[in-house]
């Protein structure tokens, strides 16, 4: 008896994906629940698991092909079925009984991931482009996954290892080697042509394609403006120093800056509700709930998981939610539900060292707050020069919905709340 492995429902508005990695080979035995193939959507990479035990007979869509919901990815048969010819991923056919032997032989030379090798899609493509056998790369990612950093480290080690130079036949011992004379330096005014003009071409991931398309759409459909301000972080830094250790002991999570800004944004959004809204045709939809998107950097590009009903959470609840999302991003387990919706977004370029930027809207939202690095600056305080830790913040907004006055006052309100965080605690 045979059954089809199909592309599952992938969530609202997601109807297409790309096959990025087959985790099993034709002829291989598969248990119920085993991951069989990885698909990449414009939001996440997901695994398709086996719904019943059996043997993978054939692969219908090899790596790199686009598939839609309901497409047949592969054919499985129960273990009692007679062996059939199983096409491999490169299009050649081989008897199913011989696939195990073929996999063993191919593992020595194939530069792609072995069936049991766990690697992120980006690491897989990098290995293929660089001709690296992933079975020789040590994983450092969560869940034993190989990351792009692991592939880069392996490639650097391979390049640094000196190649043994064989002695030519008939060479006389202790005879000095012939040294090839270096090219003379160019004379004044001489034009030197650079001969190393290597180029590299790789497929743009589906997520990267979607990010590119959506960013262009924002500029084409929204009247986006950005306003800036600066925040004295002294009070928050002092509060964190006093409470950080006890907070972690009590709640098991660190007290970061993000929870302060989430709380401040919610308070400001309640005062300026148009920044927690969206435009639908000729109507404005004001949202009286606060689902705050928190941008997190990932290998394939920025993702924005959503902290739902953040206004009902305390500082610990917000920090725990963000930590769970970071862990999911690292081990590749982020789901579509984690990314769906959101009424307002916060992005922190400061973790990468950014001093100032103009964040781009996350449609259909009409506002996004950009945090940046904290740097000591000389400030005038009560007529005296003082050194204070300052963060520049930016608010990008859709001018179709939000007037400049509202945007400026919104950002000023956030500044006031962060510079006096006791008001957030009391609230």
Catalytic residue positions?
Answer: 399, 403
Q: What is d(CA 55, CA 205) in angstroms, rounded to the nearest whole number?
A: 30
Q: What is d(CA 421, CA 52) in angstroms, rounded to the nearest whole number?
A: 55
Q: What is d(CA 86, CA 227) in angstroms, rounded to the nearest whole number?
A: 60
CB atoms within 10 A of CB 14: 16
Q: What is d(CA 361, CA 279) in angstroms, rounded to the nearest whole number?
A: 13
Which residues make beta-bridge pairs with 231?
A: 391
State the residue for tokens 């781009």.
Answer: 360
State the residue for tokens 């090219």.
Answer: 183
Q: What is d(CA 77, CA 29) in angstroms, rounded to the nearest whole number?
A: 10
């Amino acid at each position: 008896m045979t059954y089809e492995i199909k592309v599952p429902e992938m969530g609202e508005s997601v109807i297409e994906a790309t096959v990025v990695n087959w985790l099993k080979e034709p002829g291989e035995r598969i248990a119920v629940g085993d991951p069989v193939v990885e698909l990449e959507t414009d939001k996440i990479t997901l695994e398709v698991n086996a719904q019943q035990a059996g043997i993978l007979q054939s692969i219908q869509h090899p790596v790199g092909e686009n598939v839609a919901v309901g497409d047949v990815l592969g054919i499985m048969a129960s273990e009692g079925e007679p062996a059939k010819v199983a096409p491999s991923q490169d299009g050649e056919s081989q008897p199913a009984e011989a696939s195990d032997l073929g996999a063993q032989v191919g593992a020595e030379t194939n530069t792609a991931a072995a069936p049991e090798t766990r690697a992120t899609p980006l690491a897989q493509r990098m290995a293929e482009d660089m001709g690296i056998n992933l079975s020789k790369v040590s994983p450092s990612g969560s869940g034993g996954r190989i990351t792009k950093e692991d592939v880069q480290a392996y490639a650097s080690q391979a390049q640094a290892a000196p190649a043994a130079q064989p002695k030519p036949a008939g060479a006389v011992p202790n005879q000095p080697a012939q040294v090839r004379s270096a090219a003379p330096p160019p004379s004044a005014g001489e034009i030197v042509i650079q001969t190393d003009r290597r180029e590299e071409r790789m497929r743009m991931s589906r997520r990267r394609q979607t990010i590119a398309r959506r960013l262009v759409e924002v500029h084409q459909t929204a009247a986006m403006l950005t306003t800036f301000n600066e925040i004295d972080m002294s009070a928050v830094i002092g509060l964190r120093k006093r409470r950080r250790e006890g907070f972690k002991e009590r709640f098991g999570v660190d007290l970061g800056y993000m929870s302060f800004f989430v709380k401040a944004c919610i308070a400001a959004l309640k005062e300026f509700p148009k920044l927690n809204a969206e435009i639908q045709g000729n109507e404005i939809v004001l949202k009286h709930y606060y689902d705050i998107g928190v941008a997190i950097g990932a290998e394939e590009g920025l993702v924005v998981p959503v902290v739902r009903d953040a206004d009902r959470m305390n500082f610990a609840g917000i920090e725990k939610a963000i930590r769970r999302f970071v862990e999911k991003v690292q081990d590749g387990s982020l789901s579509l539900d984690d990314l769906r919706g959101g009424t307002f977004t916060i992005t922190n370029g400061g973790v990468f060292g950014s001093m100032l930027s103009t964040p781009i809207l996350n449609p259909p939202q009409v506002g996004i707050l950009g945090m940046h690095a904290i740097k000591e600056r000389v400030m005038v305080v009560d007529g005296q020069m003082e050194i204070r830790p300052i963060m520049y913040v930016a608010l990008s907004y859709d001018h179709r919905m939000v007037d400049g006055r509202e945007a400026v006052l919104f950002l000023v309100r956030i500044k006031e709340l962060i510079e006096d965080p006791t008001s957030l605690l009391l609230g």
